[in-house]
Amino acid sequence: MNNLLLAESLAPLLPIPKEEIAAMLEYPPNDALGDVALPCFVLARTMKQSPAVIAQQLAERLSHPGFRAEAAGPYLNFKLNRPSFAEELLLGAVTEDGFWRPNAGEGKRVVIDMSSPNVAKPFGIGHLRSTMIGNAISRILGETGHETVNVNHLGDWGTQFGKMITAYLKWGSPDVMASSDNVTKEYLALYVKFHEEAEKRPELEDEAREWFRKLESGDAQATKLWQEMIGESLKQFNKLYARLGVTFDHVLGESFYNDKMGAVIESLREQGLLEESEGALVVRLDEEGMPPCLLVKSDGTSIYATRDLATAIYRREQMDADILLYVVGGEQALHFQQVFRVLEKLDASWQGRCRHIPFGLMMMEGQKMSTRRGKVLFLEDVLNEAVSRAREVIEAKNPTLADKEAVAEAVGIGAVVFGDLKNTRTLDVDFSLKEVLNFDGETGPYLQYTYARTCSILRKAGAAIGQAEGAAPAYFELADNEYVWPLLKLISHYPTRLQQAAARYEPSILARYLLELAQAFNRFYHHVKVLDGGAAEQVFKLSLVRAASEAIRKGLSLLGIRALEEL
Ligand code: ARG
């Protein structure tokens, strides 16, 4: 008895379609109240009766072998017939693709701006958030019937390249770059040195401006140095992406849009949206209570916002985007509001197409980061540290495990990724490696460990399953067991939670669901001996373990975390 079937039996009694009824159904926090509930508040207006009266009347009129309906104040509570629920779920629903991949997106094409680190700068923890939240959103949307396009909008343009070229020519050395294990560290050192020296010798700033001007006008030496920085940085970034298991459909730097901004400025001018302000060109956003959007500086150069306008138009026209998502830190909220608003002024059909998906700051063990002073946590170092700690735990827990190195890599990185994704994305996160690696906490390793446990049960059951399945039909009466029912119910929630995560662009909904599921599974595992009992009981329990295993495996993969069969 899934929600749509429940809604179907309610539909003849209510003035709204069954899809809407299904969306109104809730899960009461406490099993004693019922397994599913219909809050009747919203119905009161259309039905011109109090919610409690509606609930009472519905309870009297409903009669169905799959459930019992009872009114409790403004709620209509359903107590499901658990054995038949279990049968429908385990023999029916979970064997169908539509359960695991509910089609909510109707094939809409979503272009996701994600990761987007800055060239010649460190790939820090903030970019990890954009990368992994973006990756999870992309996978979740892909699984729910959207077409996704992952775009890495590399920060490869701007006045800082003038500074970097100046610094590189004065203090840099190709040998140091070539022998470095992480060139972004050398670039950062140059960047910091530039700022230190420029405080003493302000003329360095003029030199930097001159180098950027040369770069903008296509000077050969400037272009060569700049391209080298992009190439070297990308090598470093690609190492990280490989470890994180993240791929992109397009890696297009901001510079790609240099020749596409003129047209945008032209259309803004034609529509009379461009105004002069102290020598610069801006679009006024007074009516929307926002500061003006600066597009062309007084020296004629474009800025970040100009490039984002050209980028959005390119994504819509050339990449066929129906929806444009920007997975970027919350500190850029105003920038995106301005850019989106300018697009809407340009053409009303932009309304509702673009969406900033912000996330909070991440601190590592209380440490904040600032690039200028060079106090930065490099993601690579964080991953290495997590993997080395994971290696120690695995060595202590399971010294005979095969392929320990690969397992440590998967567990260490999974811990960092899950430690990020389990948090509501807009919140700031203070990250502790010790916490995220705790195998008994609300962590990635805990989920990986639980998944490995399901695999080990299924392996042990091996031949027995086949025999038992041939010998006896599953004993669904076990659905009433106090450790079985919560697990069954949670498994049945998989599609709903996945759709919620997709609709709110919120991977933490899926992450927290997986924790609940793993906890319910482990309680079941500790209290109900899976491989005991007669054949019929075993068949039932194994089909339950199989479904739980499948849900955890799929969920982890949607979060970009590797599921290991042995741990
Ligand atoms: N490179 C920028 C940064 O690190 C993020 C770019 C986000 N994407 C965009 N289309 N503006 O802050």
CA of 134 to the centre of ligand 1 (A): 13
Rounded-to-integer distance, Cα 492 and Cα 203, Å: 67
- This model's pTM is above 0.90: yes
CA of 118 to the centre of ligand 1 (A): 8
Q: Is the separation of the CB atoms in 91 and 327 below 8 Å?
A: no
CA of 392 to the centre of ligand 1 (A): 37
Q: Which residues contact 145 (CB under 8 A, 6 or more apart)?
A: 101, 102, 103, 104, 105, 106, 107
pLDDT digits (tens, 9 = 90+) for 313-362: 999 999 999 999 999 999 999 999 999 999 999 999 999 999 999 999 98
SS3 per residue for 121-186: CCCCHHHHHHHHHHHHHHHHHHHCCCEEEEEECCECCCCHHHHHHHHHHHHCCHHHHHHCCCHHHH
Rounded-to-integer distance, Cα 160 and Cα 431, Å: 30
- Does the beta carbon of 254 sit less than 6 angstroms from any atom of ligand 1? no
pLDDT value for 243: 97
Report the atom number in ligand 1 closest to the C-alpha of 336.
Answer: 11
pLDDT value for 534: 86
In order of start, what are the domains of the chain with their CATH numbers? Answer: 3-80 (3.30.1360.70), 158-244 (no CATH), 385-558 (1.10.730.10)
With the most atoms of ligand 1 within 8 angstroms of its CB, the residue from 151, 332, 338 to mutate is: 332
CA of 75 to the centre of ligand 1 (A): 47
Q: Return the closest-CA partner of residue 443 out of 462, 418, 421.
A: 418
- Does the beta carbon of 156 sit less than 6 angstroms from any atom of ligand 1? no
- Does the beta carbon of 118 sit less than 6 angstroms from any atom of ligand 1? yes
Q: Is the separation of the CB atoms in 545 and 402 below 8 Å?
A: no
- Does the beta carbon of 256 sit less than 6 angstroms from any atom of ligand 1? no
Residue 75, SS3? strand
- Does the beta carbon of 115 sit less than 6 angstroms from any atom of ligand 1? no
Rounded-to-integer distance, Cα 61 and Cα 42, Å: 20
Report ipTM (2 d.p.): 0.99
10-residue mean pLDDT profile of the chain (567 residues): values are 79 89 88 89 92 95 91 94 92 92 90 96 88 98 97 95 96 86 90 94 95 94 96 95 98 96 96 95 96 92 93 98 97 97 97 97 70 71 93 93 95 96 94 89 97 95 68 84 95 94 98 98 95 88 96 98 95
- Does the beta carbon of 308 sit less than 6 angstroms from any atom of ligand 1? yes
CA of 114 to the centre of ligand 1 (A): 8
With the most atoms of ligand 1 within 8 angstroms of its CB, the residue from 131, 328, 336 to mutate is: 328
- Does the beta carbon of 155 sit less than 6 angstroms from any atom of ligand 1? yes
Q: Is the separation of the CB atoms in 554 and 513 below 8 Å?
A: no
Report the atom number in ligand 1 closest to the C-alpha of 335.
Answer: 11
pLDDT value for 531: 86
CA of 225 to the centre of ligand 1 (A): 22
pLDDT digits (tens, 9 = 90+) for 442-454: 999 999 999 999 9
pLDDT value for 122: 85
